[in-house]
Chain A
Amino acid sequence: AQSVTQPDIHITVSEGASLELRCNYSYGATPYLFWYVQSPGQGLQLLLKYFSGDTLVQGIKGFEAEFKRSQSSFNLRKPSVHWSDAAEYFCAVGGGFKTIFGAGTRLFVKA
């Protein structure tokens, strides 16, 4: 069955520190992968997506993600976190009507 696992329910990092949010997926075909961010009281905003080609994908707000087929992972990274990055982050696989979301990782940023 297709699924997405985000192992970390919440993560706390200091402002200026690097960030990595983990995502593992199970998908029968070539996966289309997405990361979304949801700020409190807001809808989901697309950060980046991977369809094919270069396995390192650049997104908005300085985020990037790396697709590793051998590990079935699509981890999200940012070299230096800002206080405004505090939000919930969702990994998703599939696209279109087949989009399946993980349960999310809540990011806390401390000064």
Chain B
Amino acid sequence: GAGVSQTPSNKVTEKGKYVELRCDPISGHTALYWYRQSLGQGPEFLIYFQGTGAADDSGLPNDRFFAVRPEGSVSTLKIQRTERGDSAVYLCASSTGPSSGNTIYFGEGSWLTVV
């Protein structure tokens, strides 16, 4: 597609539930990133993929968070046993490659609210 596409744009879920957030990167972009943005903060890195593999998942806050990219294109961020502190905007981005100097392009985000 023309840009990074994320679904759903908004999600309200109850504490303890499971959530999936989907990202479709720019066509041809091999690197895909997930960021989390809390109110009044800049984006914080969660994980990035080069192709199908998670090349760096050091930003995932705990083992309730997991992401996959099985075919090297679309990615899904999965959050188990959601907590109220997980409420944030989850931003997906992509770039032609992961190296320094590659510009990353963002989707519009998935706003997650855990009640």
Which residues of A approach B to under 8 Å, CB–CB?
4, 29, 32, 34, 36, 41-46, 49, 51, 90, 92, 94-104
- A102–B108 contact, CB under 8 A? no
Chain B nearest CB, measured from A2 CB (Å)? 11
The A-B contact count (CB < 8 A) is 68
| Interchain CA distance A45-B112 in the complex, whole Å | 20
* B interface, CB within 8 angstroms of A: 4, 6, 31, 33, 40-45, 48, 55-56, 91, 93, 95, 97-109
Assess the B43–A95 pair: CB atoms within 8 A: no
Separation of A29 and B105 alpha carbons in the complex (Å): 23
Contact partner of A51 among B48, B95, B101, CB < 8 A?
B101
* Complex CA distance for A104 and B105, rounded to whole angstroms: 17
Tell me which of B4, B42, B56, B101 contacts A32 (CB under 8 A): B101
Within the complex, what minimum Cβ distance (angstroms) separates B33 from chain A?
7
A81 vs B95: C-alpha distance when bound (angstroms): 30
